[in-house]
């Protein structure tokens, strides 16, 4: 365990990369996923099918295959990305597909009468979405979305396979120098657990914050 403690300064650098990758993917996938999720519910038919195909396609591909395609496959099409850009693109595309389904499910869980009531009192589509649908849907959106965020943090460990020194690769590099794998893997597991447990606690706080909203 002494080696693990001594290696902490180096591991912090890898942890920063892990958090940076996770944060960027969460922001990009959340923004794109909500927009496309609203589009798949309320958009015209010509918009529905491309979004549906995108969601089904990317959710059906293993994340590792997607990362390798973005980094090793795209150069065949004259698209050269850095390893960092490739993993951000791959993870964002993958998680966006999941956020689309979370958004769709949250919106469709709201009784149609809520929308009709808003329309009856003269609210525009934007007003109905913002003041009627969104406050009720967010309670249903948060639990699966936080779960997707936790999966993003865990999935970020795959970026080490294309040479990015995240927390996982930093641990492996230290093990290569010290030959003490167990303490370092235990330390890495505790760090990942701390991050994901904090996210779970934040989810409970947010769920309690919106628990007063009723249909």
CB neighbours of residue 6 within 10 Å: 11
User: 77 lies in a domain?
Assistant: yes
User: 214 lies in a domain?
Assistant: no
Q: How many domains does the chain have?
A: 1
User: 215 lies in a domain?
Assistant: no
For residue 61, the SS3 value is coil
User: 126 lies in a domain?
Assistant: yes
C-beta of residue 96 within 8 angstroms of C-beta of residue 28: yes
pLDDT, tens digit, 9 for 90 and up, residues 50-96:
999 999 999 999 999 999 999 999 999 989 999 999 999 999 999 99
Domain that holds residue 46: 2-209
What average pLDDT does the segment 109-137 reach? 83
The pTM is what? Answer: 0.88
Alpha helices, H only, the chain: 2-6, 8-42, 45-59, 63-68, 83-108, 112-120, 125-127, 134-155, 167-178, 181-209
Distances (CA, A) of 175 to 3, 170, 178, 188: 9, 9, 5, 12
CATH number, position 131? 1.10.3720.10
User: 78 lies in a domain?
Assistant: yes
C-beta of residue 25 within 8 angstroms of C-beta of residue 151: no
- What is the average pLDDT value for the chain, to the nearest integer? 88
């Amino acid at each position: 365990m002494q080696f693990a403690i001594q290696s902490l300064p180096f591991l912090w650098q890898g942890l920063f990369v892990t958090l940076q990758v996770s944060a960027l993917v969460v922001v990009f996938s959340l923004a794109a996923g909500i927009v496309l999720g609203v589009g798949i519910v309320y958009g015209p038919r010509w918009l529905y099918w491309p979004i549906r195909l995108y969601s089904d396609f990317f959710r059906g591909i293993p994340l590792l295959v997607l990362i390798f395609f973005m980094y090793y496959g795209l150069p065949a099409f004259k698209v050269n990305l850095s390893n960092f850009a490739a993993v951000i693109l791959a993870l964002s595309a993958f998680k966006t597909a999941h956020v689309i389904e979370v958004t769709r499910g949250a919106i469709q869980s709201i009784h149609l009468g809520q929308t009709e009531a808003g329309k009856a009192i003269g609210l525009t589509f934007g007003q109905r979405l913002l003041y009627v649908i969104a406050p009720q849907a967010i309670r249903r959106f948060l639990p699966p979305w936080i779960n997707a965020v936790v999966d993003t943090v865990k999935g970020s460990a795959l970026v080490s396979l294309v040479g990015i020194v995240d927390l996982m690769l930093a641990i492996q590099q230290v093990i290569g120098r010290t030959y003490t794998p167990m303490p370092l893997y235990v330390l890495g597991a505790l760090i990942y657990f701390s991050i994901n447990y904090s996210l779970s606690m934040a989810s409970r706080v947010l769920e309690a914050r919106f628990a007063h909203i009723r249909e």
